[in-house]
C-alpha cells in the first residue's frame, strides 16, 4: 500500500537508442572496445537504466582484472547474463547453454530456420524501433520447433541460447500446471515476468501438453481449462523475450496459437548423409577397432538421439571388454535402438 501523501510514478525503460548511447558512453569510459552490433545486443537483452549499465560494466572490469586480462566483449556478456541473478522460483530449471550451432547436424532447410531464429532473437527489438512499430503486443520472439521425437529440437533451443549469449530456462510443466483455480495462470505470469526480466530464452518442451486445443465446454472443469489456454495465449502475446516451444504433434496445438508464432521450424529424421556425419562425430576412427566402420550402421534410419544412445552403448560394452569398439558392439547397440521403435533392420548384422 502506498503511504498517504505519496505518489507512484511509473518510469518507462529507456528506448533502445537511448540505452545504446548509455552503453557506448559507459563502455568508452571504462576503456572497453566493442562493435556496434554488440552494443545493440547489450541494449536489447535487458531494459537497463544508466545505473544498471554501470554496474554491469564494473562487474565485467573486476572479473577481467581478477583473471589478469584486458576486459573484452566476453566479460561484458558474462556480467550481463548474471545481472541480476534471477531465480525461476522452481517453475523452470536453468540449463547451462553449451551446445553450439556448429554442433548440430541438421538438413539445410532446418539449419536455415535456426539461423533465422537467432537473427530475430538478436535484432527483433532493434527492428521494432527502426520501423517505429507501436503497441506492446507481438514484440516477443515466439518460435515453434516441431517434428519427430529425438530429432534435435531441444538441442537446437540450447544452441540458440548459446548463440545469443543468454541462459536457457526449461519450463517444468508439472510445477506450472495446478489443479487449483487460478494457480496455473499465476504461475505462468510469474514465470514469464521473471524470464523477461532476466533476459533468458524460455523453453516449453512438449508444449502441446499446455498449449493444446480448447475443447467443447461440458462442465466447469472444461471451462477453466479453456480459460487457462486463453490466458496463456494472451500473456504470451505481451511477452517481450524469446520463447521456444517444441512439439511432436503440432496439429494438437490450439489454432489461435498459430498467429502468436513468429517462426516455425520443422525437424526431420536425419537422412543417410546426416546419419553418417553423426556417427563420425560420435565415434571417430580412433575409437574403432581395426577394420571396423560406422558406414553400415548409418544405413539404419535412426534419429540423432537414437544414434547417440547407440554410440554410448557400444562404447560402454567396448570399455567393459577392455578393447576398442567393434562392429559387433555397434550391431548390438543399433539392434536395441531399433527394437525400441519396433523397426526391422535395413542392413545385415555382423556375426561373430
Euclidean distance between CA atoms 49 and 14, whole angstroms: 7
152: left (phi over 0), alpha (psi -120 to 50) or beta: left
Burial of residue 168 (CB within 10 Å: 0-12, 13-18, 19+) is: buried
- State which CATH number among 3.30.1220.10, 3.40.50.300, 3.40.50.1220, 3.40.50.150 fits the domain covering 92-266: 3.40.50.300
> In the chain, which residue ranges form alpha helices assigned H by DSSP?
16-29, 36-45, 50-66, 73-81, 108-130, 153-163, 173-176, 183-198, 220-238, 272-282, 304-321, 327-340
CB of 173 closer than 8 Å to CB of 89 = no
Q: Which of 163, 164, 166 is nearest to 104 (CA)?
A: 163
DSSP 69: S
Burial of 325-345, coded b for 16+ CB within 10 Å and e otherwise, reads bbbbbbbbbbeebbeeeeeee
**Backbone dihedral angles phi then psi of residue 270, each to the nearest 5 degrees:** -60, 140
pLDDT in tens, 107-166: 999 999 999 999 999 999 888 888 887 777 878 899 999 999 999 999 999 999 999 988
pLDDT exceeds 90 at position 256: no
pLDDT the model gives residue 219: 46
Q: What is the pLDDT of residue 7?
A: 66
CATH number assigned to the domain covering 272-340: 1.10.8.60
Give the strand pairing for 141-146 and 263-266. Answer: parallel
Q: What is the pLDDT of residue 211?
A: 67
Half-sphere exposure of 261 (CA within 13 A, CB side): 19
At 273-288, the pLDDT tens digits run 999 999 999 999 999 9
User: For 40-52, what is the mean pLDDT?
Assistant: 84
Q: Do domains 16-81 and 92-266 have the same CATH topology?
A: no
Res. 8 pLDDT band, cuts 50 70 90:
low
Please state, for a pLDDT cut of 70, what percent of the chain lies above it.
Answer: 88
> How do the domains of the chain map onto residue ranges?
16-81, 92-266, 272-340
Decide if pLDDT at 9 tops 50: yes
Going across the sheet that includes 141-146, the strands are: 92-95, 168-171, 201-204, 242-247, 141-146, 263-266
User: Under a CB-based contact definition with an 8 Å cutoff, are residues 121 and 165 in contact?
Assistant: no
Q: How many whole angstroms separate alpha carbon 275 and alpha carbon 13?
A: 48
Q: How confident is the model at residue 220 (pLDDT cuts 50, 70, 90)?
A: very low
Q: What was the pLDDT predicted at 12?
A: 62
Contact 114, 265 (CB under 8 A): yes
pLDDT score of 18 more than 80: yes
* Residues 6 or more apart in contact with residue 75 via CB below 8 angstroms: 60, 61, 63, 64
| 215 exposure class (CB count in 10 Å sphere: 0-12, 13-18, 19+) | exposed
The yes-or-no verdict on residue 352 having pLDDT over 90 is no
Count of alpha carbons within 13 Å of 54, Cβ hemisphere only? 4
- Cβ count within 10 A of residue 172: 16
| CATH (residue range 16-81) | 1.10.8
Q: For the chain, what is the mean pLDDT?
A: 86
Rounded Cα distance, 177 and 85, in Å: 25
What is the per-residue pLDDT for 217? Answer: 46
| DSSP per residue, 319-346 | HHHTS-B-HHHHHHHHHHHHHHTT---S
Of the chain, the end-to-end C-alpha distance in Å amounts to 78
How big is the CA angle at 162 (ends 158 and 164), to the nearest 5 degrees?
A: 120
Sign of CA dihedral 175, 177, 180, 186: positive
Amino acid at each position: 500500500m502506498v503511504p498517504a501523501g505519496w505518489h507512484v510514478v511509473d518510469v518507462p525503460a529507456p528506448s533502445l537508442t537511448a540505452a545504446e548511447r548509455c552503453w557506448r558512453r559507459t563502455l568508452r569510459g571504462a576503456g572497453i572496445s566493442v562493435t556496434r552490433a554488440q552494443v545493440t545486443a547489450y541494449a536489447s537483452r535487458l531494459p537497463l537504466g544508466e545505473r544498471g549499465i554501470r554496474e554491469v560494466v564494473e562487474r565485467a572490469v573486476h572479473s577481467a582484472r581478477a583473471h589478469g586480462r584486458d576486459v573484452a566483449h566476453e566479460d561484458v556478456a558474462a556480467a550481463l547474463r548474471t545481472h541480476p541473478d534471477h531465480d525461476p522460483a522452481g517453475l523452470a530449471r536453468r540449463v547451462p547453454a553449451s551446445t553450439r550451432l556448429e554442433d548440430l547436424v541438421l538438413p539445410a532447410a532446418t539449419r536455415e530456420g535456426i539461423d533465422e531464429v537467432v537473427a530475430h532473437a538478436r535484432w527483433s527489438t532493434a527492428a521494432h524501433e527502426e520501423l517505429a512499430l507501436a503497441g506492446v503486443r507481438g514484440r516477443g520472439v515466439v518460435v515453434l520447433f516441431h517434428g519427430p521425437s529425438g530429432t534435435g529440437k531441444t538441442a537446437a533451443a540450447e544452441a540458440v541460447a548459446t548463440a545469443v549469449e543468454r541462459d536457457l530456462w526449461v519450463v517444468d510443466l508439472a510445477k506450472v500446471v495446478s489443479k487449483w483455480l487460478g494457480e496455473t495462470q499465476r504461475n505462468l505470469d510469474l514465470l514469464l515476468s521473471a524470464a523477461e526480466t532476466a533476459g533468458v530464452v524460455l523453453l516449453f518442451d512438449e508444449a502441446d501438453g499446455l498449449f493444446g486445443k480448447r475443447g467443447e465446454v461440458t462442465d466447469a472443469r472444461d471451462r477453466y481449462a479453456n480459460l487457462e489456454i486463453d490466458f496463456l495465449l494472451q500473456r504470451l502475446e505481451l511477452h517481450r523475450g524469446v520463447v521456444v516451444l517444441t512439439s511432436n504433434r503440432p496439429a494438437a496445438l490450439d489454432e489461435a496459437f498459430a498467429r502468436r508464432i513468429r517462426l516455425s521450424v520443422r525437424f526431420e529424421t536425419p537422412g543417410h548423409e546426416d546419419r553418417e556425419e553423426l556417427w563420425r562425430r560420435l565415434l571417430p576412427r580412433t575409437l574403432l577397432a581395426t577394420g571396423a566402420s560406422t558406414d553400415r550402421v548409418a544405413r539404419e534410419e535412426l534419429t540423432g538421439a537414437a544414434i547417440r544412445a547407440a554410440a554410448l552403448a557400444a562404447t560402454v560394452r567396448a570399455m567393459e571388454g577392455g578393447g576398442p569398439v567393434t562392429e559387433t558392439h555397434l550391431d548390438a547397440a543399433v539392434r536395441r535402438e531399433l527394437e525400441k521403435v519396433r523397426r526391422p533392420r535395413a542392413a545385415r548384422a555382423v556375426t561373430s
